[in-house]
Amino acid sequence: MADHFAEFSMPDTYLTRKAYDLAFSFGTTALAHHSVRTYLFGRAIGEARGVRPGDDYDDELLFLSCVLHDAGLTERGDGGQRFEVDGADLAAGFLSANGLDDERVRIAWEAIALHTSLGIAQRMRPEIALTHAGSGADIAGLGAEALTADLADRAHAAFPRLATGCGLTEIIVEQIARNPAKAPMGSFPAELARQYGTATPTPEWARLIAAAWPGVG
């Protein structure tokens, strides 16, 4: 079997190997492939911007954040919060239990919790910004012009897509159908719920603020 860590020069440590194995054990293969491509594409986007692994950011931490960033879309990670936060909590627990220090766990938590937060994540430190960038490039092609054709072809050959959109949309929508609280107002999951017909009625903003302090002012 090909050693993809060597093939793609991914950070090869006890913890990265363990996180990689976890990603393939608790979710779909399509989801795991997306998570690895998120790292490969995020790292490449960083290099195109002059942000270098080892010099400008913690490459092991970027890998851990990327490979676990959709943990909230697995059965084990499906809790009562929006999937990004559920995944961040699961990943933080795993990383802490395996000896990662508190500061690095906090950064990984933020990278995962913010990975769908367009307009915010890219303003954060590189491990967070590149988790966001890699995920966006793989799912929606955002910033994919920074990727070489060779890398994109090699990444898809080693970690093929297997499902449209990596199957993420269906998982998110199914989670929300079972628990509408996973799609809080204004969130990315709430927008998917709206588009796919699983949203629960929410009050209009004007009515919400008008009802907050009736009779005051």
Query: How many Å apart are CA 109 and CA 103, to the nearest integer?
Result: 10
Q: Give the tens place of pLDDT for each residue, 152-172.
A: 999 999 999 999 888 999 999
Q: What is the band of 214 on the pLDDT scale with cuts at 50, 70, 90?
A: confident
- Asked, for residue 187, whether it belongs to a domain, the answer is no
- Asked, for residue 171, whether it belongs to a domain, the answer is no
- Asked, for residue 192, whether it belongs to a domain, the answer is no
Q: Which two tokens stand for residue 94?
A: 């795993």
CB contact at 8 A, 18 and 93: no
| Planar angle of CA 54, 59, 63, nearest 5 degrees | 170
Q: What is the band of 1 on the pLDDT scale with cuts at 50, 70, 90?
A: very low
Q: Which two tokens stand for residue 80?
A: 């009562």
- Asked, for residue 185, whether it belongs to a domain, the answer is no
Q: Give the tens place of pLDDT for each residue, 97-112.
A: 999 999 999 999 999 9
For residue 178, what pLDDT is reported?
A: 94
- Asked, for residue 49, whether it belongs to a domain, the answer is yes
- Asked, for residue 29, whether it belongs to a domain, the answer is yes
Give the number of domains in the chain.
1
For residue 102, what pLDDT is reported?
A: 98
What is the residue range of 128's domain?
4-164
Query: How many Å apart are CA 181 and CA 199, to the nearest integer?
Result: 10
- Asked, for residue 175, whether it belongs to a domain, the answer is no
57 pairs with which residues across the strands? Answer: 53
In the Cβ-directed half-sphere of 158, how many Cα atoms lie within 13 Å? 18
- Asked, for residue 107, whether it belongs to a domain, the answer is yes
Query: How many Å apart are CA 217 and CA 153, to the nearest integer?
Result: 61
Which CATH number do you get for residue 123?
1.10.3210
